[in-house]
Structure 1
Amino acid sequence: MKKIILFACSLAIFSQACNGVLDEEVVSSVTPEYYQTTTGFEDAVKASYEPLRTWYGTQRGFTLTVFGTDTYTKGADGDYKYVNDYTPNLNSQVDYIRDLWNDFYRAINTTNTVIDRAPSIPLDEALKAIRVGEARFLRAHYYFVLVQTYGPLHLALKETTEVQTTASRSPVKDVYDVIVSDLESAIAVLPVKPNDYGRASKPAAEHLLAKVLLTRASIPEAAKPDDNQRTADLAKGVIANYGLALLPNFAAVFDQGNQQHSEVVWAVQYTQDLITNGTGNSGHLYFLMEYDAGHKGTQRDIANGRPFKRFKPTLYTLDLFDRTKDSRYNGSFKQVFYANNPATLAPGMKLGDTAIWVAPTNISAEFKATKNYEIIDRAAVLTPGNYRYFPSLSKFLDPLRPSVQHEPGSRDFMVARLAETYLIAAEALYKVGNIDEAVQHINAVRRRAAMPGKELEMEITADQLNMDFILDERARELLGEMDRWFDLVRTGTLVERVKKYNPDGAPNIQPFHVLRPIPNDQIDRTEGGVASFPQNPGY
């Protein structure tokens, strides 16, 4: 199946600009009437996907979801350390906070255009229903990210065709009602396997609805009594009904040569086409330590990546894994760099020898267990205490980039994968008191993560299961995958866990940090200002 190829352009707030995406033909200088045509309508649907690329696999997305949690703190470089440290610089004028708001409301207006104009479009009714289902799925997705990030929102459910200066913040309950309604409508019409890989599907919508209901269940003013049970039922249905399956090997999930595998529920598409890839998936940049300067025998290359040193795993993260039986430490982290620079080899070192070994936290035990004493002795043995040196997350490495300095990566970003579906089911089952079945779902993920022959040792029993364990398991499995800040907010543990595990964020984090500030320009451009569109408390 073809991928959806998305251009860095979409339907603007006044319905002025769009392009074709499947045939890679750029359409420009169009009028609103274009979207009354069948071709224009299809292009508007495709344009509804484009803003996903402003979030997934971007420094903005990682900064607002991974940084400042229990799993990741600040590395050596980067301009957004205050997001991790929760200082007053984390305020309503931060560009990432402003641009997320603006880009996703732009996206919502595009989906509204599709939904509003669909009745008059001359298109096969069954296909039209699917396209509207895609728009509702995407609108729900955009609102879900926004409501988790900012709290009460302005609900815009009709196409905007002229300047509006009035806005208000609807209660979180009302926003979730819209999200749930959109997803229920989408589930009713979306196909199990779309003709074009990357479009919204029925299992993707069910996975997202399960996650939405799990989140809503944690909000007293919005929760419905059956939210957790519905979450469990939806997640179990995704696992059982669509031929999806966990890959046998954890590391294989992130094999760039096999991105359309059985564990992918839904992914945002990127491409090696330099014309259509835009800023690409740049996740390969931010989680890498400095391996290319000041070390004998090393230099920057494509395979090892361009190290921006932005995000460093906390000691909590490095201690999460039992490295004697859990493959996810080695499957998640790059710890060894081999000599690739003939000009700077250490005495006795050859090309291909170990040049750098990044030790985990219990360095003495690991060092004593190392069989290659001579190689390690010649290498730089680094510990994770330095902001420049730390085990590098390997999930987003992109050796297919055309050059060492090239930033726009081509790796797809998995927004929903089946291992998380299992963990969503486990959390919901735990919350409704079905502990044994919750354990079964946790153990399915842990058995897959086991080193060969260690499957039974990786299983847990009912007495070991609690919310801390669930959060730890989500960290082990989904590390860096743009879930963590939302996970901690959902479970009411953000402040507690940052104080406990993130020494840089601990001194400053406050209860109000469970929401981001409303962008200042949104308040300024609203008639009545802060009285009509109030700022979140604390900012």
Structure 2
Amino acid sequence: MKKIILILGIIVSTFYSCSDFIEEESLSNVPADATYKTATGFQLLVNSDYARLKGIYGGNPWLFCSGTDMYAEGRTPEPAGLSQYTLLIPSAVNVEDLYNSCYQQIQSVNKTIYYSTITEQTSNLSMLVGEARFLRANAYFLLVQTYGGVPIILDNITSPVLSFKRNTAEEVYKQIIADLEASLTTVGTGAYATTGKVNKRAVQDLLAKVYLTRGYETFAAPTDFATAANYADAAIAGQALNIAFDQLFAATATTNNDLNAETIFSVQYDKASTSTDPTKLGNNQFYYFSSYLGGSETGAPLRSYNLCPTGYALGLYEKGDKRWEATFMTEILEETVTTNGKAVTTLYFPYYSGRAANPSNVKVKHFFEPKWFTAADKAAWNTANAARKSASFVYHPWGQYSAEHTVSTDPFSSNDCYTIPVKKFDDPTATTPISTGPVSTRDIIVARLGETYLVAAEAYLKAGQPGTGLARLNEVRRRAGVANATTAQFNIDYILDERGRELLGEYHRWFDLKRTGTLVARASAYNYKIKAANFVGVDGKLKILRPIPQLALDLNQNKDFPQNPGY
């Protein structure tokens, strides 16, 4: 039996909040064992597997995004270890987040697989087990990328286990692939937008990412990149990128487009599922990637002032790229409405409501000049929008609203709205503007078709078929409305730039840099808080992997468990 740490062995099996595809059912005092042996109870167990995704993705995104080239600290501090590396130690804040939440997911799935052999046998049982295996593979994939080799736990743990061994990264990858191959043979084929469940396309997409990532490892198989390309094409299944980019994340006060035809897999939320505790049961993806926009008295969404886009990230976009205005709130609007004799001004959210209802009352409070603006463009914009400017209008020139600028000596850096907001995750519902933390009920999109094209592009390039890879990348650029990349441009750096444009704010960047071996070079080149020397650990080796959490080591009675290099 593989062993597991005490902190992971004492995992409760209570369910997290419901997803779109999870229905709560009060089981009163019915014993869990008896419940899981019924078809209805087993379905609830699978539901709990899905719900565990919220613990992995719904909280702070530090382990996905901190310490990269795309996002840097603004005025609000990030966890210093994860964002700057000099203070990155096994006991650093948030280091254990993925370790704990992924093992909670793994143990939940282990319980599901255990009960699948003794529960009521139904026609869809193998399909449900396939969905669970996908979720376990996804958790192990996050773990092995973040921490390297970790314990492989496949047993249903019912009592604390105090000792465990560390498997190699190669062994973990083999387990991931085994789970996904088993999943691929049993999961359904229904459209994700309809079922909200793991299907063959989601499994193919994850297999493509797993093989692509393993392809960079010293223990890679010679065919890994070609296999990744094949799986990516299978997931693409000939579907072109025909949804306008600004519609992929479109949202209003009442609806959103999260479950669209290009969403391959996501962590699903809805307002009904968070109604019992709306300030804790949602997610906070909307909260990051922006400056502070003002207090609740302005009606603006409360935002942090960390994980702000760097100058490099903002400079990736060229004139005509539709992703620029679809990703960023390039104009911050304000609306003044008089009710019962009192004038009330609301900031930011008139973009979603007031502009359509009362256009004459809506003014531009802030405008963020894009990189390509010339002096003539600036003059033309000011002339065309003269009547739209508010009395306190601010024009932000290019170069004066990036993450690094917010901590400069510029006297405006202490003001609100002085870093361009990322709007693609906005949740313009009643709870979001006045709350911080996990209050959003927008889905967190984990995999979507645009990224799959870029996975295929990278896989084909690494497999020695750059022409095919370039065609996949240029499909992404076609939808964005920009010119095709050329053969001369097409390399790993260009792919990382394109992933930056397409996927800004989505939870991939640290993994992208770690996978491609560019973490040190790119983070130190584009993140003002990071120097290459920051990565050098106490043993002279680089801190590429995150450290195994100190608490995991302390509680493990097997002391023959190596820490990662650099720590």
TM-score bracket for the superposition, by shorter chain length: 0.7 to 0.9
CA–CA distance in structure 1, aligned partners of residues 297 and 218 of structure 2: 53
3-state secondary structure, aligned to 2:189: coil
Correspondence for 2:557 among 521, 527, 532: 527
Cα deviation code 1:157-208 (max 9, x no counterpart): 1111122111111110000000001001101111111797322111001100
CA–CA distance in structure 2, aligned partners of residues 363 and 379 of structure 1: 19
Query: What is the Cα deviation at residue 281 of structure 1?
Result: 2.1
Within 5 A, what are the aligned runs for 1:359-438? Answer: 359-361=369-371, 365=375, 367-370=378-381, 371-372=383-384, 374=386, 379-382=393-396, 383-384=400-401, 385-387=405-407, 389-402=418-431, 404-407=433-436, 408-438=439-469
Structure 1 contact 247–253 (Cα < 8 Å) conserved: no
Asked if residue 290 in structure 1 is aligned to residue 292 in structure 2, the reply is yes
Query: What is the Cα deviation at residue 343 of structure 1?
Result: 6.9
Correspondence for 2:367 among 332, 338, 357: 357
**Shift in alpha-carbon separation, 1:336–1:194, aligned structure 2, 3 A:** closer
Asked if residue 264 in structure 1 is aligned to residue 263 in structure 2, the reply is yes
Structure 2 contact 543–565 (Cα < 8 Å) conserved: no
Correspondence for 1:308 among 304, 309, 313: 304
Cα deviation code 1:4-53 (max 9, x no counterpart): xxxxxxx9856653489533224466444432333322211111112211
Structure 2 contact 453–472 (Cα < 8 Å) conserved: yes
CA–CA distance in structure 2, aligned partners of residues 501 and 50 of structure 1: 36
Correspondence for 1:468 among 488, 493, 505: 493
Structure 2 contact 298–345 (Cα < 8 Å) conserved: no
Cα deviation code 1:342-366 (max 9, x no counterpart): 5789xxxx84221112334567645
Structure 2 contact 308–419 (Cα < 8 Å) conserved: yes
Query: What is the Cα deviation at residue 83 of structure 1?
Result: 2.1
Asked if residue 339 in structure 1 is aligned to residue 334 in structure 2, the reply is yes
Within 5 A, what are the aligned runs for 1:219-298? Answer: 219-221=217-219, 223-240=220-237, 244-256=239-251, 257-273=256-272, 274-275=275-276, 278-292=280-294
Query: What is the Cα deviation at residue 249 of structure 1?
Result: 1.2
Cα deviation code 1:447-501 (max 9, x no counterpart): 1011xxxxxx521222221111001000100111010000000000000001111
3-state secondary structure, aligned to 1:513: coil
**Shift in alpha-carbon separation, 1:403–1:139, aligned structure 2, 3 A:** closer
CA–CA distance in structure 1, aligned partners of residues 246 and 384 of structure 2: 24
Structure 2 contact 457–470 (Cα < 8 Å) conserved: yes
Asked if residue 43 in structure 1 is aligned to residue 40 in structure 2, the reply is no
Structure 1 contact 104–142 (Cα < 8 Å) conserved: yes
3-state secondary structure, aligned to 2:446: strand
Structure 1 contact 210–424 (Cα < 8 Å) conserved: yes
CA–CA distance in structure 2, aligned partners of residues 334 and 138 of structure 1: 34
3-state secondary structure, aligned to 2:535: coil
Query: What is the Cα deviation at residue 421 of structure 1?
Result: 0.7
Paired amino acid for 2:441: S
Correspondence for 2:548 among 511, 518, 525: 518
3-state secondary structure, aligned to 1:97: coil
Asked if residue 166 in structure 1 is aligned to residue 166 in structure 2, the reply is no
Correspondence for 1:478 among 503, 506, 514: 503
3-state secondary structure, aligned to 1:46: helix
Paired amino acid for 1:134: E
Query: What is the Cα deviation at residue 338 of structure 1?
Result: 1.8
3-state secondary structure, aligned to 1:482: coil
The aligned residue for residue 129 of structure 2 is: 132
Paired amino acid for 2:557: E
Query: What is the Cα deviation at residue 327 of structure 1?
Result: 1.0
Paired amino acid for 2:258: Q
CA–CA distance in structure 1, aligned partners of residues 380 and 16 of structure 2: 57
Structure 1 contact 245–262 (Cα < 8 Å) conserved: no
Once superposed, what is the RMSD of the aligned Cα atoms?
Answer: 2.6
Cα deviation code 1:316-370 (max 9, x no counterpart): 1111110x2211111111121123355789xxxx842211123345676453452
Structure 2 contact 150–166 (Cα < 8 Å) conserved: yes
Query: What is the Cα deviation at residue 93 of structure 1?
Result: 2.1
3-state secondary structure, aligned to 1:139: helix
Structure 2 contact 144–172 (Cα < 8 Å) conserved: yes
Percent same amino acid among aligned pairs?
34
3-state secondary structure, aligned to 1:137: helix
CA–CA distance in structure 1, aligned partners of residues 93 and 34 of structure 2: 33
CA–CA distance in structure 1, aligned partners of residues 314 and 480 of structure 2: 16
Cα deviation code 1:130-156 (max 9, x no counterpart): 111011101100000011110110110
- 429-438 vs 245-254, which deviates more? 245-254
CA–CA distance in structure 2, aligned partners of residues 166 and 381 of structure 1: 60
Q: Name structure 1 gaps, 5 residues minimum.
A: 1-10, 451-456
Asked if residue 496 in structure 1 is aligned to residue 508 in structure 2, the reply is no
CA–CA distance in structure 2, aligned partners of residues 288 and 15 of structure 1: 35
Q: Name structure 2 gaps, 5 residues minimum.
A: 1-7, 337-342, 347-359, 408-412
Equivalences, count = 503
The aligned residue for residue 3 of structure 1 is: none
The aligned residue for residue 340 of structure 2 is: none
The aligned residue for residue 351 of structure 2 is: none
3-state secondary structure, aligned to 1:437: helix
CA–CA distance in structure 2, aligned partners of residues 20 and 131 of structure 1: 19
Paired amino acid for 2:545: L
The aligned residue for residue 141 of structure 2 is: 144
Paired amino acid for 1:438: G
CA–CA distance in structure 1, aligned partners of residues 345 and 235 of structure 2: 53
